[in-house]
Amino acid sequence: MQPNEYVLLLGADQYLRERAFSGAKQAVDLPVWAAAEDAVRRLNRTFDHMLSADPKDSESLLGAIRAHSARGWHPRVVVPLNDWTVDSANTVNRVLGLGGLDATAVTNARNKHVMKQALLAAGVPTPLSRLVESEQELLDAVEAVGLPVVIKPYDFGGSGGVVLATTREEAVAGLAESKGVIAQYRSSFNIVGDKYLVEQFIDSDDEASVEVLCGAGRAQVLAVTEKYLSPRPWFAEVAHLVPSHRTGDPAVTGLAERACTALGIDRGLAHVEIKFAADGSPWVIEVAARPGGDGIMDQVERAYSLNPYRLHIGSYLGHGLLDVAAGAVPTRTSAIAFLKASPGRIQDVLDGKPLPPEVRSINISAKRGDLSHAAKNWSTREGLVELEWDELFGEKTQLPVIVAKELSDQIFVTGGAAVDE
Ligand SMILES: Nc1ncnc2c1ncn2[C@@H]1O[C@H](COP(=O)(O)OP(=O)(O)OP(=O)(O)O)[C@@H](O)[C@H]1O
Ligand SMILES: [Mg+2]
């Protein structure tokens, strides 16, 4: 009897990751399953079935998978969609002999300190850094790296706890702030969160992220996304636009591909973040062994008429798709920008006015009575807007940020004392 097989997606039952299901269906004609800790209370009907298991925890997943194996259902492969499932998905793949990333590649992609050593060893430009835990180690690192520095947790994401410090005093305060962010999120994201990187600061607001399809010893860029950041000293992502005007620039694509092979990522899409110094030189800030988050994949799909999850999941299934990535051509521009109320108590949310024609979707998450803080990371957003234009921009456009600001000012009425420390 043929075994009943399924593809297990981890992190796909998440807002802005919905298109992963469609990508999986395009990649293979199999049932597509997801996992949630309490699949009875959190049943997502999009999926063909849901395992009751913690998607971040390989033991929990193996228990649920084995219970279904006893009933004749076997996973073909387990595919991670976010940082918190890269380790668990690939541990399950290895234990069950399903392929997957090797443990070194997972560590290279999840521990920013180890990542930087691997990048430097391969000659990939990345800011110098030191790993610290205590205040004294921090001050020694500031001395060694030189001010200004960026302080960041070594295994978190979403720009949480990433802070710029221009003085020793700001560095001490920055480490305390970063530790506070980790204390708040450590357990829900299942991270260790015991150490912090102190990094040389690349002083520029020019930044891109690159989606790279990885293969054994090879990599191929699919898309380059232009990134827009909040005012300093934080680095919240406020918008992403696809395709970036840098698309096709070999200095960018070649570097992104080298970064992936340096880390040993041999399957799936990787998300490479590159910052451009004042002289234009590119520096790899980090690499994630999963597709970009924040709805970037949906912008890639609209700009290229190609669902990138199909490539990510197909690659985990062993399909050779580098040529498909190489042949993808953008025909329009698509962007996502985050809504931001001015800091203070939100007194009213005025939705329902006519929207500009380029608006493809809008989602307001804040309610009357909520407190709005200055943009620090993903948690300080009040909603999002997606935009679409028929043209391709030849240079960096500020349109996503401008439209999001106009809409935010129109929608959110904030009053009372500013609450930002
Ligand atoms: N050394 C640096 N020099 C200049 N800017 C930096 C540096 N390190 C981080 N940044 C800025 O901070 C942002 C977030 O840092 P990083 O990507 O390391 O953290 P993260 O929490 O994994 O981010 P995310 O998940 O939002 O991509 C970067 O995109 C970049 O804008
Ligand atoms: Mg990042």
pLDDT(1) > 60: no
286, 290, 377: which to mutate for ligand 1, most atoms within 8 A of CB?
286
Q: What residues contact 302, with CB distance under 8 A and at least 6 apart?
A: 242, 332, 334, 360, 388
- What's the rounded Cα separation, in Å, for the pair 82 and 17? 9
Domain boundaries, the chain: 4-103, 128-200, 207-415
pLDDT of residue 334: 98
Bridge partners (DSSP) of residue 35 are 51
pLDDT(420) > 80: no
pLDDT(362) > 80: yes
Ligand nearest to the CA of 159: 1
CB of 150 sitting under 6 A from ligand 1:
yes
CA 201 to ligand 1 centroid distance, Å: 10
Per mean pLDDT, which of 185-194, 313-322, 376-385 is the most reliable?
Answer: 313-322
pLDDT of residue 374: 86
- Do domains 4-103 and 128-200 share one topology? The answer is no
114, 159, 203, 283: which to mutate for ligand 1, most atoms within 8 A of CB?
159
- In CATH terms, is domain 207-415 a member of 3.30.470.20? yes
Who surrounds ion ligand 2 at CB < 5 A?
Answer: 273, 286
Ligand nearest to the CA of 275: 1
pLDDT of 4-14, one tens digit each? 999 999 999 99
CB of 76 sitting under 6 A from ligand 1:
no
Q: Which atom of ligand 1 is nearest to the CA of 271?
A: 27
86, 147, 162: which to mutate for ligand 1, most atoms within 8 A of CB?
162
Nearest CA to ligand 1 atom 12: 235
pLDDT of 285-306, one tens digit each? 999 999 999 999 999 999 999 9
The whole-number average pLDDT for the span 308-318 is 98
CB of 127 sitting under 6 A from ligand 1:
yes
pLDDT(86) > 50: yes
The rounded percent of the chain whose pLDDT value lies above 90 is 89
CA 154 to ligand 1 centroid distance, Å: 11
Class of domain 4-103: alpha beta
pLDDT of residue 130: 96
CB of 229 sitting under 6 A from ligand 1:
yes
pTM value is 0.95
CA 285 to ligand 1 centroid distance, Å: 6
The whole-number average pLDDT for the span 319-333 is 98
The whole-number average pLDDT for the span 134-151 is 96
pLDDT of 171-195, one tens digit each? 999 999 999 999 998 888 878 888 9
CATH code of domain 128-200: 3.30.1490.20
Residue 250's Cβ-count burial label (10 Å; 0-12, 13-18, 19+) is exposed
The whole-number average pLDDT for the span 30-37 is 97
pLDDT of residue 417: 55
| Strand ranges inside 174-245, DSSP E | 196-200, 207-215, 218-229, 237-242
Distance of CA 278 to the CA centre of its chain: 25
Q: Which atom of ligand 1 is nearest to the CA of 203?
A: 4
pLDDT of 147-177, one tens digit each? 999 999 998 887 889 999 999 999 999 999 9
- What's the rounded Cα separation, in Å, for the pair 228 and 404? 12
Distance of CA 144 to the CA centre of its chain: 30
Bridge partners (DSSP) of residue 385 are 337, 362
Among 346, 405, 335, 336, smallest CA distance to 372 is for 346
CA 207 to ligand 1 centroid distance, Å: 10
Query: DSSP secondary-structure letter at 374?
Result: -
pLDDT of residue 333: 98
Ligand nearest to the CA of 160: 1
Ligand nearest to the CA of 237: 1
Q: How confident is the model at residue 210 (pLDDT cuts 50, 70, 90)?
A: very high
Ligand nearest to the CA of 231: 1
CB of 224 sitting under 6 A from ligand 1:
no
